[in-house]
Every structure is written in C-alpha cells, then in structure tokens.
Chains A and B, each alone.
Chain A
C-alpha cells in the first residue's frame, strides 16, 4: 500500500488508547437532597419546582409544586418557610425567597385557572375525612388524585378550618382561600358543611367508608385561671379570631391586653389594632428569644404598634385594669415570680395560651390512644383502630398550616396503600446537599427581592393583605437565585471542563453521562460542579 514519504505505519487515532484504565476514582452523577426540601414539613420538592420557574415555565413549576401541596397560594402567604431558614444561599448572601415565589405561582395558577390532574380511572374506594382544615383538604386532594372517592364532613359553615377561623384576613385574603378550596371541590371532592360528627363510633359502625381520616384540629382555647373582678372582660383568642368571620366584630374597648407569646397572640394583637384599639399590649411571661411566635409575626406586629410586656404574668383582672406580676428567669430558663407588681390599663384581656383538641367524638371508639390531649398515631398516621387515620393539630407536632398539609399528604399515601391492600414506604433519603459541596464561584451575586409590604398606616386600620406578591420579573429573578443544591441543572460545566473529553452531553433535559473508557478520574468535574451533583467514588480493585 502506498504511504506518504517516511511513514511506515497507518495513521491511527488516539481513541485506541483507552485511558480509563488509569482511573482510581470515578465520578458519578448523584441527586442529593437540597436543604429546603429536607426542611419542608409538607415535603415539597422545592428545588424541583424552582427549576421550572427558573426558565419561566410557571405552569410546570406549579404542577410540580401541586404534586405535594394543593394550596400554594395559601402557603405562599401563611407558611413560616423553614425552607428559607435552611437555604444554602443564606450562607452566600441571603436565602432564596422561596415563599414569595410560591405565592406568585399560587396566584398565577388561580388567575389562569390551571387545574390539577386526577387519576384517569376511579378506584371505587371511598374515604371519609372529618374536618376541612389544611390537613383534611390536603388528604382529600391527594386521595382524589389517586382516584378515590372522597367526602369531607365539616362542622363549620365554611371550609378552611384554622385558615379561615384562625388566620386573620390581612395575612390570608378569603378570596384566595375560597378559590383554592373550590379547585379541590372541582376535582370531585364532596364537602358536607355544617355536619359536625359528635360520635365517631356511630359513623364507623355505618361502614359507609373504606377508610377514615380524622383532622378536626385543636379549636378550643386553653383557659388559664385568672382571678377576675365581676366586670372584667376576658375572651379567648381562638373564639375572638373565629368571631371575626361573623357579622359583628367583638367589642374590645380602646386598650387591649393579650396574654401569651405564640403566633395566635400576635394575630389577636394585630387584629385588635385593626379593630381600633389604641393600645394592644402583649403580656408574656418569658423573653422575646423564648417566644414561640415566629420572628416575622413579631416584627410585623411591632411595626404596627403592638407593644410587648416581657417577663410578666396576669395576677388579677378588673374592669379597666390588670394587675401584672414581674417574673424572672431561673437558671433553667423557667419564669419565676419576683413579688413585684404593676398595673396595666386594659379594657379587655384576650387569652392566647394555646389550644386543645375536642376529643369528645372519640368517646365511644375503642383503641384510639390520646396522650397529653392529642391523638397518638404510628408512622403511617394510623390510630390504634385499623383504617382510622388522624393528622393535623390533633396529633403531636408543630401546629402550622404547612405541617397540616404534610400530614394530609402522608396520611393520603398511607390510606391509598391501605385501600389497595399494600403498604407505603417513603423510600430512602438521599444524602444532604451541604453548603460545603457547592462551588459557589459560579453563582452570580444577587441579593433577595423583598416583597413589598403594605403601608403601616393602612395596616393599622384595614384588613388589606399586608405582604404583597411579586410581579413576574421579580419572581423570575428570585427563582433564579436558587443554587439547585445537589441536583444537576445542566450548566454544561462538567462537559466543558473535562480535559479528556469524557463527559457526553445528552441534550436538553437529558443531562450527561461519563465515558468511563477514557475518563482518567482527575476529579475536575466534581470540583467545578456548581451544585455538588457529582461524587467521586473509589474504583473497585
């Protein structure tokens, strides 16, 4: 064969040389658990829905969100966003405003009338849910999506539970709540209003339903014994907030004292301000850092002119005035009386000392265990009675809408398994995407977009929504602040930085794979991956 001058061998490609044999460690693509998802009580895949929002595909983002949470517009307003507390971006500049993007997605979905998907075929199985609060509605939604027939018995005149009768309008406008509940009804969930279940045993005996989920909440305000003169005006916060949904707002007088340090105390104080109280004073027996109320609520309350009286208890209530005793914290942090007293002028006293569950309906049911006033459930949210599940405020746990929605989802998955005669397991948790795994060099510096707040003067006098939503450009900006911790977002870095061309780009949405025939295992891809989605693992020998 004719060859060029001085050439004795055919020219070949270096592809014959499989440099993959040099490798002692191999890179592998992984999906780690982002801290936001880890922290979400409703189990949302936040990184997953932000991924779609980043590209402006809000409908896909909303649909991803709706896989876990049927109430994004509500949640975008009332959730205390533990996701943001956990967010890795907080270590870089400020955490991603996840809650504000959720608010935006919830609103745009209502605006465009997007509807969630339901199962193509009905299973023919029936589930009864008692209580149309956050957990009841969440369970109903998820069970309906899985094809079951769902009925909710609700004691109140309107659905929503604490979202309607506990959370004031300035935090959650009722049109938003109504619209999201209507969407669940439109999926085929039947809500029977004014239907209080007094005796659960009788309902169970009818055997009309294949499974029952109990989510009646904790609607009784705790009463502490406060010695009081005959004409002292004392209310409990739960009834007070509940009455805001009625025809005539309750009469409080000009000076209102609120006793307690939780979120309900803040809601009551802020509501009192809006009803015209000149003074709204929160009396709490410990200090601010020990207060169970969330920081946002306390800050907003103080902005609106709510006063705080720390380290104080109410010893005696009389018409127009309260006698307070000053407290001090002992070394264990427990408040102890000091014997010093002071007077506080107050026309009424609102007690916000926590809530209790009305367990009356369980009196004839055998097998349900209630400890410390709450119903005990196993990891599958089932009570001691087979087929009877419970969740929300009536079981142990933090009492927030988000936790309730999470309970509803978990219960629904387990009820579904129960109805199908199988069992549900959550599956293993991937390892956490810690901040240290990220290469933050690659992210643009960008501070958080803050949602506009209503003018303080208007907040004191009206029930208009305090926190306004983002517009589309802000929401997009905020979504794009996501670092996508632990999950590939197709930035092409690994494909670009490999000195050995051993990363194969599969195309949009398909991510990448390694060419182990040639990968030498240098680890640059893992080091330069912005989001920590590549892991180096030792080769087996």
Chain B
C-alpha cells in the first residue's frame, strides 16, 4: 500500500503537523523532539532543497532506527555546506568520504558491524546526483548487486551545483547548465541523454526502491521508514530543487518540487524486488510550462518567443511518465 493520505481534518496530512490529528498521525518533522540531524548555522544557500531533504530523510531514519544509525556522505554541496573544518552541522554519527565512494564506505561500515555482531546499528549512505549517477555509480551498482545492508539516499538537484552548475547524468533535457548552454542546435541539455537511476536500481532487483520530493514530507518519511524495515540494499531518490542552479526564487523550492510531481516530470513511486508497487497520483495536473517558466535554466525556452516545439517534447516526457506509471489513476502500465 502506498502512503495513505488523511483526507479531511481541515488540512489532513498535507501539512507538516495538524493539531487535529493524533500525535502518531503527525510527521516526524512536526515534533519538537525531532533529531535535527542537520542543525543551525549550515552554509547552504537560501531556500536550499538539499538541506531540507537531508534533514527530512535522516530525522525519519533516526526515528525508524531508534537513533542507532551511521551515515556515510559523499563529497558535494551537502558536505561542503555542513562541514567547513572545524565546524560541523551534523548531530548524528557521520563520516566523510570521497566524491565517488560513499556506497563503498557504507558497504564497509555494514560489513564491519556485521563482523562485530552489531545488528542493531543501521547504515545510510548518501550523495548528490553527481556522486550517485556519475562518479559513484560503480560502487553503488556493486552495493546493489551484492545486496549490502545499506540504505542509499540520492538528493537529486539535477547538476553539479557545488562546483558551478555543470551537467550531470541527472540533468533533464533542455536545462541550461554551465556546460550545456543553449547554443546552435542545442536546446540546453540534449534530449536523449542522461539516465534514470531509480529504474536502474530496480533492474538490480534490490528489496526496495522509491522516489520522493521535498514537497510531500509525509510520503518521504513513510518511504524512509519503510526502507528501514528491509535488510539488504535499498535506494531512495529525492528531488531537491536548487535555487542557485535552477535559477529559481529561494521561496519556490517546495512549490517547484510539487510542480515537478504534478506535471508528471518526476514520477513518485515505490518498488519492491524490481516491481513498481505503488505510485503517488497527480492531484491537480499541470502543464509542464508552469513548472519550466519560473526557472531561469529554462528561460531560453520562453525568450524571445516560446519554443513550443521543445516545450512540447518536454510535455511528451511528462505524458509518457503519466501513462507508464499510471500517475493519474494509480495503475502502472
């Protein structure tokens, strides 16, 4: 069963808390006792989706593991803005690794705990999209293939933001980055490039794969908690808007995540053993144009005239997702 939203009670479970729900129906984030895995003073930009996504996911994981958890972190924004030596924002057992090897470090920690007989401590490895889909892909695929007991979380902001917004294998078509300018025949990032890591993870037939956004906190927390109920390799892919790299207003971070899902561009689903088991339905469907227009990385699609052909190709991607995953009726094809 997918996350079951509570429909009524004024705002139901759409909001973070809701005083009309019982305590156990509220989110981890609504609690005054949440871990705040990532604490005050970190140097992420205004409106950083990744800082938010990491706190959401790790606080939920801390609750699910009864605070018995170790996190391995790949190099990337998330590391740079949290740990400028000698300061740290992490309030959990946390280890720095290299750009490409957080999956391998996670695997190693899991192996060490297993050999010490410590079954109570769980391992999370995390990285941005660069550290996951490009540089860290080999160790990650190995971790999946061996079914190591690690939850890997990818915070996907769709480019290498830390180093100045270069394209990654997760950069969507037509997006402008420092290395995919819209010049000549190129509409920004070319169509037909890039890879879909959740589907690749599913192809490894690992116990659990899920996607989520920072706009649907309850769904994200549910998926982290569910992932912790499995042993073996698990993968969660979280879409985290980046105001700097996307050229969006810092206040729009959650709104854009919501629109990515509501347009169908970012399908939100979960899969077990390689099969999709549930999808989050689109609640109020939007044309992709509404998602693209507020982002400066797509502004070349609207100036001087709207590039209806390219926008149409992006809409076709959304439409394909909608029919492939059954995003309007909850029935995957």
Contacts and interface: CB of A to CB of B under 8 A. Distances in A.
Nearest to B56: A496
Main DSSP-derived SS at the A contact region: loop
B20 interface: yes
Contacts of B14: 441-444
A126 to B, nearest CB: 45
A492 B25 CA distance: 13
A492 B23 CA distance: 12
B29 A15 contact: no
A499 B40 contact: no
Contact of A55 (B8, B20, B47, B251): B20
Interface string A435-454: 00000011110100000000
B17 A490 contact: yes
B43 A19 contact: yes
Interface string B1-25: 0000001111110111111100000
B8 to A, nearest CB: 5
Contacts of A477: 8
A366 B41 CA distance: 73
Interface stretch (B167-175, B253-261, B300-308, B316-324): B253-261
Interface string A487-509: 00111110111111110010110
Nearest to B38: A501
B231 interface: no
Q: Which of A14, A442, A489, A493 has the most CB of B within 10 A?
A: A14
Nearest to B8: A444
Interface stretch (A231-239, A287-295, A522-530): A522-530
Interface in B245-275: 249-255, 258
Contacts of A497: 16, 52, 254
A480 B253 contact: no
A505 B19 CA distance: 13
Interface in A40-56: 54-55
A484 B284 CA distance: 22
Interface string B160-196: 0000000000000000000000000000000000000
B11 to A, nearest CB: 5
A507 B85 contact: no
Interface string B87-114: 1110000000000000000000000000
A518 interface: yes
A15 B88 contact: no
A413 interface: no
B20 A480 contact: yes
A520 interface: yes
Contacts of B249: 523
B32 interface: yes
Contacts of B284: 441
A495 B39 contact: no
B40 A530 contact: no
A17 interface: yes
Contacts of B38: 501
Given A17-B87, A55-B19, A480-B10, A496 B30 contact: yes
Contacts of A489: 10, 19
Nearest to B7: A444
B16 A499 contact: no
B8 A446 contact: yes
Contact of A12 (B18, B49, B82, B87): B87
B44 interface: yes
Nearest to A480: B10
Nearest to B5: A444
B36 interface: yes
Contacts of B243: 522
Given A13-B89, A523-B250, A527-B255, A500 B17 contact: no
A520 B46 contact: yes
B26 to A, nearest CB: 7
Contacts of B30: 492, 495-496, 505
A12 B49 CA distance: 25
B253 A524 contact: yes
B209 interface: no
Given A442-B14, A491-B16, A495-B29, A522 B86 contact: no
Contacts of B26: 492
A484 B20 CA distance: 13
A498 B30 CA distance: 12
Contacts of B20: 54-55, 480
Nearest to B36: A501
Given A13-B89, A54-B10, A521 B16 contact: no
Contact of A496 (B9, B17, B258): B17
A13 B88 contact: yes
Nearest to B258: A441
B55 interface: yes
A273 interface: no
A339 B9 CA distance: 61
A346 to B, nearest CB: 52
Given A55-B19, A443-B14, A17 B9 contact: no
Contacts of A517: 40
Given A490-B17, A497-B254, A524-B254, A11 B86 contact: yes
Q: Which of B9, B10, B39, B47 has the most CB of A within 10 A?
A: B10
B18 A491 contact: yes
Nearest to B14: A442
B51 A500 contact: yes
Nearest to B16: A496
B32 A491 contact: no
A523 B9 contact: no
A481 interface: yes
Contact of A530 (B15, B47, B251): B15
B314 interface: no
B27 interface: yes
A11 B19 contact: no
A539 to B, nearest CB: 13
A22 interface: yes
Given A13-B41, A507-B32, A522 B9 contact: no
Contacts of A507: 32
B156 to A, nearest CB: 16
B332 to A, nearest CB: 25
Contact of A491 (B7, B11, B40): B11
A441 B258 CA distance: 10
A477 B8 CA distance: 8
Contacts of B253: 499, 522, 524
A444 B6 CA distance: 9
Nearest to B10: A480
Given A444-B12, A496-B30, A527 B251 contact: yes
Contacts of B32: 505, 507
Given A54-B20, A489-B10, A499-B55, 8 more contacts: A11-B88, A14-B41, A54-B10, A443-B14, A444-B9, A444-B10, A507-B32, A527-B255
Interface of B: 7-12, 14-20, 26-27, 29-30, 32, 36, 38-44, 46-49, 51-52, 55, 82, 85-89, 217, 243, 249-255, 258, 284
12 contacts: A13-B88, A19-B40, A54-B10, A443-B10, A443-B11, A492-B26, A492-B29, A497-B254, A498-B52, A505-B32, A520-B47, A530-B11
